[in-house]
Amino acid sequence: MTAEYQVHGDVAVITLNNPPVNGLGLATRQGIVDGLAKAEDDASVKAIVITGAGGAFSGGADIKEFGTPKSLQDPNLHSVIRALENCSKPVVAAIHTVCMGGGLELALGCHYRVGAPGCAVALPEVKLGILPGAGGTQRLPRVIGVEPALNMIVTGETVQSDMLAMIPGQKLFDKLTASKESLADEALAFARSVADARPLPLVRNLPCKHPKGEAYFQFARNMVKGMAKNFPAPLKCVDAVQAATTSRNFEDGLMTERELFLNLMMTPESRSLRHLFFAERAASKIPDVPSDTPKRDIKKVGVIGAGTMGGGISMNFLNAGIPVTILEMKQDALDRGIAIIRKNYEAQVKKGKLKQDKYEARMALLSTSLAYEDLKDCDLIIEAVFEDMGVKEQVFSKLDEVAKQGAILASNTSTLDVNQIASFTKRPQDVVGMHFFSPANVMKLLEVVRGEKTAKDVLATVMALGKKIKKTAVVSGVCDGFIGNRMIERYSQQAGFLLDEGATPEQVDKAIEKFGFPMGPFRMIDMAGNDIGWAIRKRRYVEQPDMKYSKTADLLCEMGRFGQKTSAGWYDYEAGKRDAKPSAVVLKMIEDYRAQQGIAPRKISDDEIVQRLIFSLVNEGAKILEEGIASKSGDIDMVYLTGYGFPIWRGGPMHYAGEVGLFNVVQAMKRFARNPHDDANAWAPSRLIVDLAAQGKTFE
C-alpha cells in the first residue's frame, strides 16, 4: 500500500507514500480510494485530509507506468478524482511542497486546498509532450483564471504557491499556512472548521469564460505556434483550455481533454520527451558506483591553459562560486584568456543577464599563475593545453609532483588515451577525463571519461560536480573520440561519400537541417575549423590505414580553406560574417575529384542523405554499447541531444533508431554496404543491433 491511513480525532488523514515523489501509480491510487472508503464508513470521521510524505505532495502520474496496462487500470486518476468529488465528507488537500501534474489535478478534485508558502505548483505535462489528462486543463482555469492557467499549461513552468495565492479572486488555495512546519496542524484545524459545510464546493461547478472568447484563443494560438516549433502538444493545450470555456458542460470539456491527451501520448514527440526525462536522470547513475559512494570535497579548482577551452571551463566553476586559479606558460597568454572571460561576462551584464555585483564577485574568485606551485592546494585540476601527448605528459608529470594527495587530476582531451595520460602519474586512480564542449561555459554536455584505474569516488565526485555546474554529465569509457566524437567521425565520413557520389555540401546540410539539426555537417565544420579534423585524420591515416575517406576534405584544407576563420571553407564567407554561400571553387574541386576517381555523379535523395548520416551514428553507437564504452543507450542519446544538436523531438540517435525499427535500420545498412563508393566495413552491423533487430527489440 502506498497511501497510509490514520485517524486524528475526528479527521482522517490519507498520506501518499510512494517515494521518491509520490507518483500516482496504481497502488497509490488504490490506496487513496481505500482510504476514502474507510473514512466514509467511520461515523466518527467528519472530514478528510490528503497529504504527501517526504519531499512532495505529488509529482503527478507515475511516468514509469505510461504505456503499460497499469496506467489505465482502475482506479485510474479520473476515477480517484471522481471518488474525491463524490465523497460525502469534506476532503482537504494539504500541500507542503511539490504539487505537479496529476498531483495538482488530484488536489483540484478535493473540496478544499490548504498550501504552505513556497510550494512548487505546475502542470508540466507539456514537457513530456502531452497535456494534463485528469482534468487539469478544465479545472485550473476555473480557479486562477483562463490566462494564467493557459500560461502555466502551455509552458509547464513551475509557479510558487505564494504567487498563485496573490491572483485576485483565486480559488486554488482556500488557505496559505504560516509555514511549511505548521501545515499539518493548520490543515487539521481547517478540516474541522469545514466539517459541517454543505453543499461541498466543487471546482467543476465554477464558471469558466474569457471575456474576449475566440479572439483571445486565436491570439494565444499565434503566440504558441511560434514557440512550439516541432512539438504538437502546446497547441493542443490551447485547444483543451478553450474547451473549458466553450463546452456545453464540464463533462464534455473533460472528454475533449481526454481525447487530446490520448492522441498526444501516442506521438513520437512525446515518446522522445519521456525517454529524455528518464535518460537525463539515469545518465548520472553509474552501474557499479553506488549512489552513497563518498565524494571528495572540491573547494578550489585549478585550470591549466587559458585558451579556447580553459577560459570557458573556468567560468563554469566561477559561476558556481568555486574559486579558480588558471595557469599558463606566458603572461600574455594569461592576459588574453582573462580578457576573453571578462568580455563574456561583460556581454552578459550588457544584456541584463548578469548583475554587475555578481560579475565582480565571480571575477574576485579568479586568480592567475605562471607557477605550478600555486596549484598545490587545489582539490581538482583540469588540464586544457594543446592536444598533444608530449605536452600532456609534461603537464601530468608536473602535476604529480605538486598536486596535493587526493586531488583529482582531469584532462579535457577530446581524443587522446586517458589511460596513457594517467600513466604519467603515480596516482592513476585520481586521473579522469572531463571532456567539455565548446563553448565550455555554454554547452550542457560533459563527457566524464573513466580510465581503467579511475577510482569510484573520483567518478562520483566528478558526476556530482557536473550537476553543481549545471552540466549533463555522461560517463564514457576510453576510446578514440569517446562517445560523441567517435560517432561523429562516421557521420563526417558519410557526409564526404555523399559529396563523392553526387551531392553538394548545401544539399547535405539542408537535408539534415530539415531533419532537425541546427546545422549540417559542412556548415558545422566550417564553424569549428577544417584544420582540426585534418590534423586528426592525418593521425588516423597512420593508425587506421584501412579506414576509407573521401579525400575532398583534405583537398579543401590544401587550398587553405579552413572555414569561417579564413572566410573560406566548404562555403564562401564575407569577412567577419557567418552567412554560408555556396562556393563555385569548392563545387569544381568536388567535380574534379569525382572525375579523377571515375565516379559518375547521381541524384541523391534527401531521405538517403538523412538515413546514411543518422544510421552511421546508430551503428557506431551500437558498437560503443557493445564494447561497454557507454553503459546504456540513453547515455548516447544524452550526448547527442546536449552536445551535438540532435533534434530533441526525435529523442537521440538510439531512440530514433527504435522508432524507425531496428529491422529497418539493419536492412538499410546492408543496402548501403553494397554501394561500391561507400565503406562496407563501416556498415558491418554491430552484433548488438543484429540481435536486437532479430528479437524485435529496441536499444531501450
Q: Which residues bind ligand 3HC (CB under 6 A)?
A: 20-21, 23, 56, 59-64, 77, 98, 100-102, 105, 124-125, 128, 132-134, 136, 281
Q: Give me 565's grid cell.
A: 576563420
Q: How far is the CB of 387 from ligand 3HC (least distance, A)?
A: 35
Q: Residues 101, 133: contact at Cβ < 8 Å?
A: no
In 542-688, which ranges are E strands?
Answer: 571-572, 581-582
Give dist(CA 371, CA 311) in Å, integer.
Answer: 18
Give dist(CA 334, CA 314) in Å, integer.
Answer: 13
Nearer of residues 124 and 310 to ligand 3HC, judged by Cβ: 124
Residue 472: which H helix or E strand, with range?
Answer: strand 472-476
Q: Which residues pair with 472 in a beta bridge?
A: 445
Give dist(CA 304, CA 444) in Å, integer.
Answer: 21
- CB neighbour burial string for 464-480, b if at least 16 within 10 angstroms, e if fewer: bbbeebebbbbbbbbbb
Nearer of residues 206 and 391 to ligand NAI, judged by Cβ: 391
How far, in whole angstroms, is CA 406 from its chain's centroid? 32
Give dist(CA 49, CA 57) in Å, integer.
Answer: 12
Q: Give me 630's grid cell.
A: 557507454
The question of whether 125 is a catalytic residue gets the answer yes
Binding-site partner at residue 98 among ligand 3HC, ligand NAI, none, CB < 5 to 8 Å by type: ligand 3HC
**Phi, psi of 554, rounded to the nearest 5 degrees:** -70, -40
305 is a site residue for ligand NAI (CB under 6 A):
yes
Give dist(CA 207, CA 246) in Å, integer.
Answer: 11
How far, in whole angstroms, is CA 527 from its chain's centroid? 24
Binding-site partner at residue 473 among ligand 3HC, ligand NAI, none, CB < 5 to 8 Å by type: none
Please identify which residue in the block is written with the cell numbers 560579475: 359
438 is a site residue for ligand NAI (CB under 6 A):
yes
Binding-site partner at residue 633 among ligand NAI, ligand 3HC, none, CB < 5 to 8 Å by type: none
Task: Give the binding range for ligand NAI (CB under 6 A) out of 72-80, 168-176, 301-309, 475-483.
Answer: 301-309
Q: How far is the CB of 1 from ligand 3HC (least distance, A)?
A: 18
Give dist(CA 301, CA 314) in Å, integer.
Answer: 8
Strand arrangement, sheet containing 47-52: 3-8, 11-16, 47-52, 91-95, 112-115, 175-176
306 is a site residue for ligand NAI (CB under 6 A):
yes
Q: How far apart are the first and last CA of the chain?
A: 29
Nearer of residues 386 and 541 to ligand NAI, judged by Cβ: 386
Nearer of residues 100 and 525 to ligand 3HC, judged by Cβ: 100
375 is a site residue for ligand NAI (CB under 6 A):
no
| Member of 50, 184, 194, 385 binding ligand NAI (CB under 6 A) | 385
Question: 520 in the Ramachandran plot: left (φ > 0), alpha (ψ -120 to 50) or beta?
Answer: beta
Q: How far is the CB of 381 from ligand NAI (least distance, A)?
A: 11
Q: Residues 448, 474: contact at Cβ < 8 Å?
A: yes
For residue 226, CA distances in Å to 123, 220, 231 come to 21, 10, 11
413 is a site residue for ligand NAI (CB under 6 A):
yes
Please list, in sequence order, all residues whose beta carbon lies within 8 angstroms of the beta carbon of residue 299, skipping any fewer than 6 positions away: 322, 323, 379
List the interface residues with ligand NAI, window 35-64 (CB under 6 A): none
Binding-site partner at residue 391 among ligand NAI, ligand 3HC, none, CB < 5 to 8 Å by type: ligand NAI
The question of whether 393 is a catalytic residue gets the answer no
Residue 66: HSE in the Cβ half-sphere, 13 Å Cα cutoff? 26
Nearer of residues 387 and 417 to ligand NAI, judged by Cβ: 387
Rounded (5°) CA angle 640-644-648: 60
Binding-site partner at residue 64 among ligand NAI, ligand 3HC, none, CB < 5 to 8 Å by type: ligand 3HC
Binding-site partner at residue 101 among ligand NAI, ligand 3HC, none, CB < 5 to 8 Å by type: ligand 3HC
The residue from 85, 105, 383, 608 that is catalytic is 105
Nearer of residues 124 and 141 to ligand 3HC, judged by Cβ: 124
Q: How far is the CB of 330 from ligand NAI (least distance, A)?
A: 7
Binding-site partner at residue 621 among ligand NAI, ligand 3HC, none, CB < 5 to 8 Å by type: none
**Phi, psi of 352, rounded to the nearest 5 degrees:** 80, 15
Q: How far is the CB of 56 from ligand 3HC (least distance, A)?
A: 6
536 is a site residue for ligand NAI (CB under 6 A):
no
328 is a site residue for ligand NAI (CB under 6 A):
yes
Answer positive or negative: Cα dihedral of 346, 351, 354, 357.
positive
Binding-site partner at residue 183 among ligand 3HC, ligand NAI, none, CB < 5 to 8 Å by type: none
Nearer of residues 173 and 436 to ligand NAI, judged by Cβ: 436
SS3 of 323-354: CEEEECCCHHHHHHHHHHHHHHHHHHHHCCCC
| Member of 307, 323, 502, 601 binding ligand NAI (CB under 6 A) | 307
How many Cβ atoms are within 10 Å of 371's Cβ, its own excluded?
9
Binding-site partner at residue 59 among ligand NAI, ligand 3HC, none, CB < 5 to 8 Å by type: ligand 3HC
Q: How far is the CB of 417 from ligand NAI (least distance, A)?
A: 12
Q: How far is the CB of 18 from ligand 3HC (least distance, A)?
A: 9
Nearer of residues 9 and 55 to ligand 3HC, judged by Cβ: 55
| Member of 394, 544, 597, 681 binding ligand NAI (CB under 6 A) | 394
691 is a site residue for ligand NAI (CB under 6 A):
no
Q: Give me 456's grid cell.
A: 569510484
Q: Which residue is nearest to ligand 3HC (CB)?
A: 101
Q: How far is the CB of 179 from ligand 3HC (least distance, A)?
A: 21
Give dist(CA 247, CA 240) in Å, integer.
Answer: 10
387 is a site residue for ligand NAI (CB under 6 A):
yes
333 is a site residue for ligand NAI (CB under 6 A):
yes
Quick one: how many helices (H) and strands (E) in the chain? Answer: 30, 20
Binding-site partner at residue 61 among ligand 3HC, ligand NAI, none, CB < 5 to 8 Å by type: ligand 3HC
The residue from 40, 65, 85, 125 that is catalytic is 125
308 is a site residue for ligand NAI (CB under 6 A):
yes
Residues touching ligand NAI, count (CB under 6 A): 25
Residue 72: which H helix or E strand, with range?
Answer: helix 69-72
Give dist(CA 527, CA 519) in Å, integer.
Answer: 10
Give dist(CA 111, CA 212) in Å, integer.
Answer: 30
Q: How far is the CB of 280 from ligand 3HC (least distance, A)?
A: 8
| Member of 98, 194, 378, 384 binding ligand NAI (CB under 6 A) | 384
Q: How far is the CB of 321 from ligand 3HC (least distance, A)?
A: 20
**Phi, psi of 196, rounded to the nearest 5 degrees:** -100, 0
How many Cβ atoms are within 10 Å of 9's Cβ, its own excluded?
10
Nearer of residues 298 and 309 to ligand NAI, judged by Cβ: 309
Q: Which residue is nearest to ligand NAI (CB)?
A: 307
β-pairing, 380-383 vs 159-160, is unpaired
| Member of 386, 544, 582, 680 binding ligand NAI (CB under 6 A) | 386
**Looking at the annotation, which residues are catalytic?**
105, 125
Q: Which residues bind ligand NAI (CB under 6 A)?
A: 304-310, 327-329, 333, 384-387, 391, 394-395, 412-414, 435-438
